[in-house]
């Protein structure tokens, strides 16, 4: 059952189809940007945690070295 539409109806269907395609393309682009932002935020958190852990380890090492130096000096 193939229906034949008037020329104006066919043009309207074509215009709507292209408009709908643009809408979905913009929606996909927005989702992609959100995905990139989430990945960036996760990486930032991971790097921050690694940096804080390293800083804490460095402080502990420096404290240990200072205590060892003081005990040798006594």
pLDDT score for 36: 95
pLDDT score for 73: 72
Could you tell me which residue, 61 or 27, shows the higher pLDDT? 61
Write 64-68 long-range contacts (CB < 8 A, 24+).
none
Q: What is the pLDDT confidence band of residue 16, given thresholds at 50, 70 and 90? A: confident
pTM for the full predicted model? 0.56
Could you tell me which residue, 40 or 16, shows the higher pLDDT? 40
pLDDT score for 1: 45
The C-alpha angle 39, 43, 49, rounded to 5 degrees, equals 150
By percentage, how much of the chain surpasses pLDDT 90? 46
């Amino acid at each position: 059952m193939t229906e034949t539409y008037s020329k104006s109806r066919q043009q309207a269907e074509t215009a709507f189809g292209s408009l709908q395609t643009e809408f979905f393309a913009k929606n996909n682009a927005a989702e992609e940007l959100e995905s990139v932002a989430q990945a960036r935020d996760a990486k930032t958190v991971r790097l921050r945690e690694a940096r804080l852990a390293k800083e804490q380890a460095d402080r502990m090492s420096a404290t240990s070295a200072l205590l060892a130096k003081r005990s040798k000096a006594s």
